[in-house]
Amino acid sequence: MTEVQREVFGRMPPEEGGGAVEKFVLKSDSVKVEILSLGCIIAALEVKGRDGKFSDVVLGFDTLEGYLRKHPFFGAVVGRVANRIAKGRFTVDGKEYQLFLNNGPNSLHGGAKGFDKVLWSPQVLPNGVCFSRLSPDGEEGYPGDLRVWVTYTLSGRELAINYRAQTSKTTPISLTNHAYFNLAGQGSRDIYDHVISIEADSYLPVDDTKIPTGEVAAVQGTSFDLRQPVELGKHLEKFCLDGFDHNFCLQQAQARRLVARACHPPTGRTMEVHTTQPGIQFYTGNNLDGSLKGKGAITYPKHSAFCLETQNWPDAVNKPHFPSALLRPGEEYNHTTWLLFSAA
């Protein structure tokens, strides 16, 4: 059985409307997750190690103030379009749209005020919570009234995140959750002792602004071949890598499939990622620099967490040979990602 509790976490500042930010706590025998109505943020995620003890394995803040300041999207749902759009520009039905540039020359994770920075309307379910909002036509430069539902459900050791959307005009959409994980427990120094595998035969090379070049490159014989598990620290060292921030191309299927696994041998904690999405961005917290104080006043240095963001391929709206990122009126965007936790 999953227990669901709700409580007030804080209030938005008056200039943001002063609304109450609620926290929803979902609890099973083996997982406890805390989710905020601000940005659908996963603020805490406690899972058991092999010793049977719970540890919080996601980065974040103890108070609302932390989330209202600038931070790297800890635990949030990002959109309308996750990841980068080159020059913040795209054309739909012959009309060009220009978005806010918030990542060098590009638009990232929805722009200046994306889905991560707004209050969502919650509805409690027997085993979870459904958040919804209307993103109005023109919000952050995107076309169409977009109705969005993000549903978190907890069942035993599995947390499911379902994303649905409907639009009044053709619009690009790609939703993901941007949780930063450290299976040793948040606040642990690095992720070098984690073992990672990703079920992908190809990946997207990027230019120096992290926009895919358009090439779909085979992982075979490269540092991007993660089909067999690698210990992260040794792998980065072997290939002289500063870290990963790349999209891995998944098997094109609408069905649920296992796409990635992260394991922390010292605690026995393992997280499997299953999804219906065509891509997964593997990011190793390269831009964390110890300047942010997180939960328990702990700072988060470089490589102290990783992200496995299930999504469409970056800049797909400008690359016709990538999986289509467009949602049309009368269609429904519907994707699910499942995080399955265990301890061995």
What are the extents of the domains in the chain? 3-343
Contact 301, 290 (CB under 8 A): yes
Contact 247, 212 (CB under 8 A): yes
**What single DSSP character describes residue 313?**
P
pLDDT at 300: 98
User: Is 45 exposed, middle or buried, given 0-12, 13-18 or 19+ CB atoms closer than 10 A?
Assistant: buried
**What single DSSP character describes residue 293?**
B
pLDDT exceeding 70 applies to what percent of the chain?
100
pLDDT at 97: 97
Instruction: Quote the CA–CA distance of 159 and 31 in Å, as a whole number.
Output: 8
Question: Which listed CATH number (2.70.98.10, 3.40.640.10, 2.40.30.20, 2.40.30.10) goes with 3-343?
Answer: 2.70.98.10
Instruction: Quote the CA–CA distance of 21 and 66 in Å, as a whole number.
Output: 13
Indicate the pTM of the whole model: 0.97
Q: Hey, which residues does 122 pair with through a beta bridge?
A: 131
Computed over every residue of the chain, the mean pLDDT equals 97
> What pLDDT, in 10s, does the model give residues 8-30?
999 999 998 999 999 999 999 99
Q: Hey, which residues does 45 pair with through a beta bridge?
A: 33
Contact 150, 123 (CB under 8 A): no
Instruction: Quote the CA–CA distance of 83 and 333 in Å, as a whole number.
Output: 17
Q: Say whether 180 counts as a known binding-site residue.
A: yes
The SS3 call for residue 236 is helix
Q: Say whether 325 counts as a known binding-site residue.
A: no
Question: Per DSSP, which regions of 182-323 are E strands?
Answer: 195-198, 202-203, 217-218, 230-231, 245-249, 257-264, 269-275, 279-283, 307-311
Residues marked active site are found at 178, 309
> What pLDDT, in 10s, does the model give residues 219-250?
999 999 999 999 999 999 999 999 999 999 99
Contact 160, 340 (CB under 8 A): no
For 40, the token pair is 């659908």
Contact 186, 58 (CB under 8 A): yes
Q: Say whether 303 counts as a known binding-site residue.
A: no
Residue 95 has pLDDT above 90, yes or no: yes
Q: Say whether 260 counts as a known binding-site residue.
A: no
Residue 344 has pLDDT above 90, yes or no: no
Q: Hey, which residues does 327 pair with through a beta bridge?
A: 171
128: nearest Cα among 149, 152, 112 = 152
Q: Say whether 179 counts as a known binding-site residue.
A: yes
Instruction: Quote the CA–CA distance of 289 and 133 in Å, as a whole number.
Output: 33
Instruction: Quote the CA–CA distance of 284 and 152 in Å, as a whole number.
Output: 24
Residue 93 has pLDDT above 90, yes or no: yes
Overall residue count recorded for the chain in this entry: 344
Instruction: Quote the CA–CA distance of 192 and 189 in Å, as a whole number.
Output: 9
pLDDT at 252: 85
pLDDT at 254: 83
pLDDT at 253: 83
> What pLDDT, in 10s, does the model give residues 243-300?
999 999 999 888 999 999 999 999 999 999 999 999 999 999 999 999 999 999 999 9
> What pLDDT, in 10s, does the model give residues 125-184?
999 999 999 999 999 999 999 999 999 999 999 999 999 999 999 999 999 999 999 999
The SS3 call for residue 52 is coil
